[in-house]
Amino acid sequence: MTTPETNGHQSNGHQANGASRYIPRGASGIGVHDFVPELGYREYWYPAVEDRRISRKPVALKLLGDQIVFFRDTANKVAALPDACPHRGAFLSGGIGKGRGNNEFKGFITCPYHGYTFDGTGQCVAALTDGPNSKLAPKMRARSYPTRTHKGIVYIWMGVTEPVPLEEDLPEEFFLDDVVIQTYVKIWPINWSLTMENSRDSHNSKIHRGQFRRLFNLALFNKLPAFWEGTEITEEGDNYICIAPRVRQDQVQGYFPGLGKKWPQHDWWRFKGARRVNPLNQQRNAFNNSRPGGLYRLPSIACPSARGRSVHLRYFTPIDKDSVRMFTFTLRRETNVIKKWLWKSYYHMWYVYFNSQQSVNEKEDLPVQAVGALDPTAPQKLGATDAAIIFWRRRMPFKSRDAQRLWSQSRVEAAALTIEQDEEREAVEIPLD
């Protein structure tokens, strides 16, 4: 399953061997959704909902722009159907009508309007108000979406082609025997692709400076690099790229001639060696010690950090064009029962609030890029520090399963022309070394 050369992702052999490495060469004007679908790629598994949330009462969720209803079938497996009755369109979940009586029969869902009742495969098994001998019932069938449950999370396949094994879409860390996975789910008012893009760009020293949390780990006093000198795509595979900023630890302040000032303007309280770096970070039990940088992986997986004893990985399931269901998976390898318990307690009492989710992502990143703070349709010009985003917008769409399985040849050819023009633009060169 794991191959160290590919970091567990699919590979097309275009590894970081210099010659075949893809480096965007010019400033790019390709927009957020010129090629990346606004409602997400379809031909993939997506995390949909926590398994424990589906009990006897059906649950309605919007995913990839479609309204879906989840319930438990006769085998107690989570079933997913479009939340629209094939009879006359009532929401099977009830929608705002609360779905009175839709869970009358265990293992089935009953439409709250005329009582047509469906099993987990979408087959109508009884049309209650059409009588026991209904001729319509056997002919009535709803689409059913394949689901799989893994470590407490229900995944859904909303593609129109045959589903691949779940193992193909989830990073291989998810299937390690000793892995403990904590999941944090939240709805964010932002397009899914913008939050992907944010996961590995140069905003760090602007947005994430000096907040309260950094008092505790002393990072507030640490000398931090203030800017990047570009980004490198350090590894490229069939469905992913690895990304590393070109950053110099000693560039903690820069002089900006256009302003006649230095930035950051003040940093007198920062001193060298303030922060203790945990030497274990790259050793025992670490994940992906060989992964050269952060990760963007299709369809919507981002991992901002390179390595560590725990992996903070985000998997975005689009809801509609302006919101996303954000699944943050924190993975850690632990076999010792007591340590496992300690880690879980630490996660719930501290990590969720202070490490990467509520304090950082929601309180710092989201306010500058959510709906109302950033206009994804505005003309944009991307440069050297946006190399990963240029790749994500320009190349990644054509690696997708959607491109391979659904997109027409003419669409791909038309896009290739636009890309060629985009690549010919002037401006930034990103040197290899």
Query: Of 81, 85, 303, 415, which one interacts with ligand FES (CB under 6 A)?
Result: 85
**CB under 6 A: which stretch of 12-20, 41-49, 82-90, 419-427 binds ligand FES?**
82-90
The nearest distance, CB 63 to ligand FES, in angstroms, is 21
Q: Rounded to whole angstroms, how far apart are CA atoms 21 and 15?
A: 7
Chain positions 116 to 155 lying near ligand FES, rule: CB under 6 A, are 116
Tokens found for residue 317: 């399931």
The per-residue b/e assignment along 325-355, b for 16 or more CB within 10 angstroms, e otherwise, is bbbbbbbbbbeeeeeeeebeeebeeebbebb
When CB distances are held under 5 to 8 angstroms depending on the partner's kind, the choice from ligand FES, Fe ion, none that residue 365 binds is Fe ion
Using CB under 6 A as the binding rule, whether residue 227 contacts ligand FES is answered as no
Q: Rounded to whole angstroms, how far apart are CA atoms 75 and 104?
A: 16
**CB under 6 A: which stretch of 83-91, 331-339, 383-391, 405-413 binds ligand FES?**
83-91
The nearest distance, CB 89 to ligand FES, in angstroms, is 6
The nearest distance, CB 364 to Fe ion, in angstroms, is 6
Tokens found for residue 63: 């995913």
The nearest distance, CB 365 to Fe ion, in angstroms, is 4
Report which residue's Cβ sits closest to Fe ion.
365
How many residues lie near Fe ion (CB under 5 A)?
1
DSSP string, 192-239: HHHHHHHTTSTTHHHHSSS-THHHHTSGGGS-----EEEEEEEEE-SS
Query: Of 44, 70, 113, 227, which one interacts with ligand FES (CB under 6 A)?
Result: 113
Query: Of 90, 137, 370, 390, which one interacts with ligand FES (CB under 6 A)?
Result: 90
Using CB under 5 A as the binding rule, whether residue 197 contacts Fe ion is answered as no
Chain centre distance of CA 276: 30
**CB under 5 A: which stretch of 25-33, 185-193, 360-368, 378-386 binds Fe ion?**
360-368
Query: Of 173, 235, 365, 422, which one interacts with Fe ion (CB under 5 A)?
Result: 365
Q: Rounded to whole angstroms, how far apart are CA atoms 368 and 267?
A: 23
The nearest distance, CB 420 to ligand FES, in angstroms, is 51
Sign of the alpha-carbon dihedral angle for 99, 102, 106, 108: negative
Residue 313, beta-bridge partner list: 329
CA distances for 53 relative to 50, 169, 186, 360, angstroms: 6, 23, 14, 26
When CB distances are held under 5 to 8 angstroms depending on the partner's kind, the choice from ligand FES, Fe ion, none that residue 351 binds is none
Q: Rounded to whole angstroms, how far apart are CA atoms 172 and 186?
A: 23
* Nearest CA-CA partner of 423 in 433, 415, 431: 415
The contacts of residue 205 (CB under 8 Å, 6+ apart) are 224, 225, 226, 227, 264
The nearest distance, CB 289 to Fe ion, in angstroms, is 23
Using CB under 6 A as the binding rule, whether residue 228 contacts ligand FES is answered as no
The nearest distance, CB 210 to Fe ion, in angstroms, is 14
How many residues lie near ligand FES (CB under 6 A)?
9
The nearest distance, CB 87 to ligand FES, in angstroms, is 3
Query: Of 114, 275, 340, 395, which one interacts with ligand FES (CB under 6 A)?
Result: 114
Using CB under 5 A as the binding rule, whether residue 201 contacts Fe ion is answered as no
Q: Rounded to whole angstroms, how far apart are CA atoms 371 and 385?
A: 23
DSSP state of 75: T
Using CB under 6 A as the binding rule, whether residue 111 contacts ligand FES is answered as yes
Start-to-end Cα distance in the chain: 32
When CB distances are held under 5 to 8 angstroms depending on the partner's kind, the choice from Fe ion, ligand FES, none that residue 85 binds is ligand FES
Q: Rounded to whole angstroms, how far apart are CA atoms 193 and 32?
A: 7
The nearest distance, CB 137 to ligand FES, in angstroms, is 10
**CB under 5 A: which stretch of 256-264, 365-373, 402-410, 424-432 binds Fe ion?**
365-373
- Helix (H) or strand (E) holding 392, with range, is helix 387-394
Contacts to ligand FES by CB under 6 A: 85, 87-90, 111, 113-114, 116
| Site of interaction with Fe ion (CB under 5 A) | 365
